Copies of this chain bind each other. A is one copy, B any other.
């Protein structure tokens, strides 16, 4: 069964509360936009693409339930709603990208209140469908890298639970599975937040794709025993230099894959490619040390005041990357070929 992370259901928004996973599968439902905003703030909905879709659905909800017929009043109400959503997760790039699309519709609208309501609902559904479509195309483009019998190691959760559905890294795994390839997945637990243990395991199990869980420090072991044939991960950002910025631990996996000559694949939408930033300009955000000191925010595993290093992501250099798989193209061996040229060509 495919996971429905978030859906528009005839004037309601329905989403899976990822905070309760994997222990409880709780779907939330609302007709009020404010509840959607709170769901983003509380991380019930997480993952940049999923947040963008949720915000667009939120604005569509606000529009649908509006009682009034003056278009100017309606527009000013809607712009307040957009502003409300823009404050939910101030660093999520996809959130602003989705809200900009919606905002431009509002500002440029000529016509009745009902026509604008209709257009906003359609635009939100389009953003949702596009995200799934992009992921499915990434899946198709990645298919050729996955062989029958592969055991694929993945880190963190770049799955349906981080997108409108289907996922990027897990999208490739899904595509391979549904094409009839017999594959297995090894999921790293992904400390400190445990996205692998909590989300990837749950999501793959849900679709019947075989999955085994390991701790992050077992990656070297499973590779040295010949238990892994491919690695696939998502990306928060891919630089033009070919550097891949992704969840902390990705670089460690990449170095080990390189030593064992295991293909290291990155699956990410083109919207992830950062045309401007140079690798030495990348700022590595340090997160709350309590994420390391406590497990799941409740179980203290060390001295409560021990000093901690807690970077949220790391940088994998292009020489460790076998291919970057996007919805449009696949860039193989970004260190050898001219990645800027390849990307510029199709991005500009």
Contact = CB atoms under 8 A, between A and B. Distances in A.
Nearest to A289: B213
Contact of A306 (B212, B300, B307, B309): B212
Given A222-B309, A295-B295, A308-B212, A217 B303 contact: no
Given A218-B248, A252-B256, A255-B256, A201 B303 contact: yes
Contacts of A192: 215
B201 A302 contact: yes
Contacts of A314: 218, 220-221, 224
Q: Is the interface of A mostly helix, strand, loop or mixed?
A: mixed
Contacts of A300: 23
A345 interface: no
A211 B302 CA distance: 12
Contacts of A303: 22, 201-202, 205
A219 B315 CA distance: 13
A337 B251 CA distance: 32
Interface of A: 22-23, 155, 186, 188-192, 194, 197-198, 201-202, 205, 210-222, 224-225, 227, 248-249, 251-256, 259, 284, 292-293, 295-296, 298-303, 306-311, 314-315
Nearest to A320: B259
A213 B298 contact: no
Contacts of A255: 220, 255-256, 259
Contact of A302 (B197, B259, B302): B197
A191 B217 contact: yes
A189 B252 contact: no
Contacts of A221: 248-249, 251-252, 284, 311, 314
B296 A299 contact: yes
Contact of A252 (B22, B217, B248, B310): B217
Which of A284, A298, A301, A314 is most buried by chain B, counting CB atoms within 10 A of its CB? A301
A213 B295 contact: no
Given A192-B215, A217-B190, A197 B252 contact: no
Which of A188, A210, A222, A252 is most buried by chain B, counting CB atoms within 10 A of its CB? A252
